[in-house]
Amino acid sequence: MSELAFALKRTLEDAYGFVRLRGELSKVTHHASGHVYLTIKDDKAAIDGVVWKGSVRGLSVRPEQGLEVIVTGRITTFPAGSRYQIVIESMEAAGVGALLAQLERLKQKLAAEGLFAADRKRRLPTMPAVVGVITSPTGAVIRDILHRIRDRWPCRVVVWPVVVQGDAAAGQVAAAIRGFNAMTPDGPVPRPDILIVARGGGSVEDLWAFNDEALARTVAESTIPLISAVGHETDTTLIDFVSDRRAPTPTAAAEMATPVLSELKALTADYDRRLATAGGRMLEDRRGRLTALSRGLPRPADILAMARQRLDYAGSHLTMGLRRNVDVQARRLAQTSAPLRPALLQRRTEQLSSRLDAVNLRLNAAIPRRLKVEETRLAALDKLRQTLNPKRPPRPGFVLLTRADGSLARNGAELTAGEAVHLMFEDMTREAVIDGAGAPPPAPPAPAAPRPAPKKAVSPPAGQGDLF
């Protein structure tokens, strides 16, 4: 059975290797794998079709339910299901009516998403410094735009060249919009303040690239305000509804994007004239109001006359007051200085001098006594210092034993066998080794001379008292 199925498959592919069909699409399914499965039908028959993933991108129209198309491909079979189908390699709309129907469905879809809403459209900049133009670099459109901008407004124009017709047009225009939005203000090419997408007039098929859904979404996502200037006054494309402003012609787009410098200068001059006129009128009004209000005020001479009179009165009394004050102070000084005599000061000086002499006498008598007491105390402290000095020569019969590091040995437990020590006698210093073999034992000391017997105390004669 499989041999028959594959034989039929080869027969159909050889006999119908190239076919061209016209019909209406139905049961259109965009599979997750990228393939598109559909059915082409007319009023009498229907045939299944498939568009492989690699061919979907090359289609001139997007397969949708109810679209009338002309497809080109080859007939083949699906052996597992015992049915035949057409493998579609190209697809195009069957006529202008079909294209417009597809466009109308796409417009309704984008409108439902809010891409045509007026509240999402941005205001155009009043005085742009950089204008970005997306169009063909060889047509008359770019020359008209540059000429119009040069006559109206001195700014920089950055042109992104693209093709404006054919299958590649939509992708290139979308890439240009994304490229302008990715620029930075301080980059080598400045970021435009406004964009113009422009193309001359043409048929519906010529302008169909600007009805692309992906291009329309790219225009909606642009952060730079965008003017659509595709075709003439009567031409309408999908990006006209998504853009921030639609221009009937490319020249009109240049006028929308830029102001007129001469008009701005005239407007500024008019504002300056009106400002000067309004300022002069305001000054005159304030001057008139000030004059009217000043009529109700007294004259400055009248206001100052009373104050001047008070000043004269105070000045006349000031001289007499100063003289009277001087006289009063002079009398008080005379009264205070009358009891003062040189004898009073001399008597006080003599009293203080006598007290000073008495103090000097007491000091002269006390200082020697104080010095004597301090000398006695200092001598006692010096004797105590000598007594407590650990390094003073020992008394006869005593030895001062120190270790090699100079520390004083206070008991025998601190010393170890073979340790070198210093022996300090009253008259000299000797070296020794603890428990070591040294010089022969010294001769026994000579017997000390007998001390004379103490004299017996003579008893005092009877009757004589003891002094102690």
pLDDT of residue 455 exceeding 80: no
Report the candidate in 46, 41, 35, 30 with the shortest Cα–Cα distance to residue 88.
35
Model confidence pLDDT, tens digit, residues 195-223: 999 998 877 778 888 988 999 999 999 99
Q: For residue 463, what pLDDT band results from cuts at 50, 70 and 90?
A: very low
Give the residue among 168, 145, 11 at the shortest CA–CA distance from 84: 11
User: How far, in whole angstroms, is CA 108 from its chain's centroid?
Assistant: 47
- Each residue of 357-366: pLDDT tens digit? 888 888 888 8
In sequence order, the 6+-apart residues with CB closer than 8 A to the CB of 42 are 22, 23, 24
Q: Which two tokens stand for residue 146?
A: 């540059």
* CATH superfamily of the 2-94 domain: Nucleic acid-binding proteins (2.40.50.140)
* Number of residues that this document lists for the chain: 468
The pLDDT of residue 8 is above 90: no
Domain boundaries 122-262, corresponding CATH code: 3.40.50.261
CA distance 9 to 324: 146
Rg (the chain; Cα; Å): 65
Question: Which DSSP helix (H) or strand (E) runs through 387?
Answer: helix 342-388
Cα dihedral across residues 127, 128, 134, 139: positive or negative: positive
The residue that leads in pLDDT, 109 or 300, is 109
pLDDT tens digits, residue range 316-345?
888 888 888 998 999 888 888 777 777 777
- Angstrom CA distances, 106 to 25, 37, 111, 217, 221, stand at 16, 20, 8, 12, 17
Three-state DSSP class for residue 58: coil
Helices and strands, number each (H, E), in the chain: 11, 13
Locate all alpha helices (DSSP H) within 39-114, ordered by sequence: 53-56, 96-112
pLDDT band at 468; cut points 50, 70, 90: very low
Rounded Cα gap, residues 430 and 422, in angstroms = 6
* CB within 8 Å of 337: residues ≥ 6 apart: none
Q: Are 46 and 21 in contact (CB under 8 A)?
A: no
| pLDDT given for residue 148 in this prediction | 92
Residues of the chain above pLDDT 90, percent? 31
Q: Is the pLDDT of residue 458 over 70?
A: no
Between residues 413 and 389, which one has the greater pLDDT?
A: 413
What pLDDT digit, counting tens, does each position of 115-144 carry? 999 899 999 999 999 999 999 998 889 999
Q: Where are the domains of the chain?
A: 2-94, 122-262
219 near 239, Cβ under 8 Å? yes
CB 65 within 8 A of CB 28: yes
